[in-house]
Structure 1
Amino acid sequence: MFIQTEATPNPATLKFLPGRVVMENGTFDAREAAGAQGSPLAERLFQVPGVVGVFFGYDFITITKGEGEWQHLKPAILGAIMEHFMSGRPVLAAGTPMAGEGEEEFYETSDADTVATIKDLIETRIRPAVAGDGGDIVFRGYRDGIVYLGMKGACAGCPSSTATLKHGIQNLLRHFLPDIREVQQI
């Protein structure tokens, strides 16, 4: 098994590409070891000293470090990923919630058409680009011209996330929906 790595805009986060599907549907985000419960792979990754975040996308795993240098952490992380996939165990145990499951969206019913357009733009134009950087972005709400988004994986805590939100996503949404005043992270 050959696992590639890619840098992300977040220097504390590295993207691992195992060359196979990690999550067929949805994503999984654990920001601490307790949040890894229900994922044998995430639990194993949190056993590597210095790992403080694990995110699974369709065909990638994003790891966030708290301390240590990547050249010291990478071998242990690569080993944990390889051992997990070779064992044949599932990435998530049955019934484990995926990222965003159960989180309520909020918006007025009169804004349903605007929200549908926002969600479509997020799905078709924003999420693919963000996934390329090892993260994910999800719609959380819309009120009074303000779009509320949740950032996950490499995007959560990234130094450039504010620029991504304000200059990239906000400008794109305003182009298609001039009534949008602002984009905020939840």
Structure 2
Amino acid sequence: MQKVIIRETQNPSILKFEFPDFITKSQNFEFKNIDETAQSPLAKQLFYLPFVKTVYISGNFIAIEKFSIVEWHEVKELVAEQIETFVDKGGKILNTEDSDNKKIPVTVYSETTPNPSVMKFVASKMLTKTAVECKNIDDSAVSPLAKELFRFPFVKEVFIDENYVSISKYEIADWIEITQEIRSFIKTYIEEGKTIIDETQIVKTANHEKQQEAYFDKLDAISQQIINILEEYVKPAVQSDGGNIAFQSYDEKEKRVKVILQGACSGCPSSTFTLKSGIENMLKEMLHDQEIKVEAVNG
């Protein structure tokens, strides 16, 4: 009988189920829903569990991210037993012929951003549900793709969100000289099925904590309104420019909203104007409070 070992990860929503031997040697797989599981009969089976959010297969383990409707201590033994039973009955973890011979068809195109130091590379598939910002190679443990990009001497920072990668460059190179090289590299990397974001390595930093539903529920009503406004009206606009904005805090006494600028927004010459003339005015109008002030903690 195949015995799997259950291991915790730095992300409390994700557990690893390790096998004694490698189940895949050259590729990593990420399945975000049952429609993506053509390459993995086991992943398809796991998605019938209502709490399974994402399935990762790499090396000698299967990692599973759960929805918050259950706690791992309630279901982890059940999941381990289901994996063991599936394998013992001859079920395939991966359709090896498909995974070895087929590349993932993907297109990648580049877009300029309001920040002249940043170029946005947009893929035809979802890359991550969790925004990740890597300021240098030491920050890139969470993203093997970012780590590889930092091997280019002109790459300064990497920001990955949804279906795009924003890259900040040093001044040693012009975009006209390097854009095609980066675009081709990202396209090949994705097509080869390599890991873009290793969700098991996401450290529970304060910024990551703020992306979770449990954090939102603990906030006061005004802070919740601010987050909803940012999510609905502001984020789509800044994401289209290769950036992101994240709520940091709201001080009720000072009427001060603090936000974090990421990707192309970080260090952008027009970010101050956007904050004051755009976001601040929007919050004043929608919250019916002309004393609201907005500032970027990293602006």
Same-fold call, TM cutoff 0.5: yes
**Partner residue in 2 for 1:147:** 257
Q: Which residue of the other structure, out of 266, 270, 275, is the alignment partner of 1:165? A: 275
**Partner residue in 2 for 1:37:** 141
2:224 partner letter: A
- 1:169 Cα deviation after fit: 0.2
Contact 2:146 2:158 in 1 (8 A): yes
1:26-60 CA-partner distances (Å, limit 9, x unpaired)? 21111112111231110111111110011111111
Alignment of 1:96-175 (within 5 A): 96-97=201-202, 100-102=207-209, 112-143=220-251, 144-175=254-285
Higher relative contact order (CA 8 A, sep 6+): 1
1:126 partner letter: V
Distance (whole Å) between structure 2 residues aligned to residue 81 and residue 51 of structure 1: 13
SS at match of 2:176: helix
What CA RMSD, in Å, does the superposition of the two structures yield over aligned residues?
2.1
**Partner residue in 2 for 1:28:** 132
**Shift >3 Å, 4+ stretches:** none
Which deviates more, 44-53 or 174-183? 174-183
Contact 1:8 1:14 in 2 (8 A): yes
**Percent sequence identity over matched residues?**
30
Structure 2, unmatched stretches of 5+, are: 1-105
TM (norm. structure 2) is 0.57
Residues 1:185 and 2:296 are matched in the alignment:
yes
1:58 partner letter: E
Contact 1:146 1:181 in 2 (8 A): yes
- 1:181 Cα deviation after fit: 2.5
- 1:62 Cα deviation after fit: 0.6
Contact 1:139 1:150 in 2 (8 A): yes
Distance (whole Å) between structure 2 residues aligned to residue 13 and residue 167 of structure 1: 22
* Aligned residue pairs, count: 181
1:105-159 CA-partner distances (Å, limit 9, x unpaired)? x9xx8x8111111011011101111101101101000112000000100000000
- 1:72 Cα deviation after fit: 1.8
- 1:103 Cα deviation after fit: 6.1
Contact 1:48 1:73 in 2 (8 A): no
Distance (whole Å) between structure 2 residues aligned to residue 103 and residue 158 of structure 1: 23
- 1:76 Cα deviation after fit: 2.6
Contact 1:141 1:149 in 2 (8 A): yes
- 1:94 Cα deviation after fit: 3.7
Distance (whole Å) between structure 1 residues aligned to residue 198 and residue 177 of structure 2: 29
Distance (whole Å) between structure 2 residues aligned to residue 153 and residue 94 of structure 1: 19
Contact 1:48 1:76 in 2 (8 A): no
- Greater gyration radius: 2
SS at match of 1:178: coil
Q: Which residue of the other structure, out of 179, 183, 190, is the alignment partner of 1:78? A: 183
Contact 1:140 1:150 in 2 (8 A): yes
- 1:183 Cα deviation after fit: 0.2
SS at match of 1:9: coil
Which deviates more, 115-124 or 68-77? 68-77
Distance (whole Å) between structure 1 residues aligned to residue 273 and residue 226 of structure 2: 19
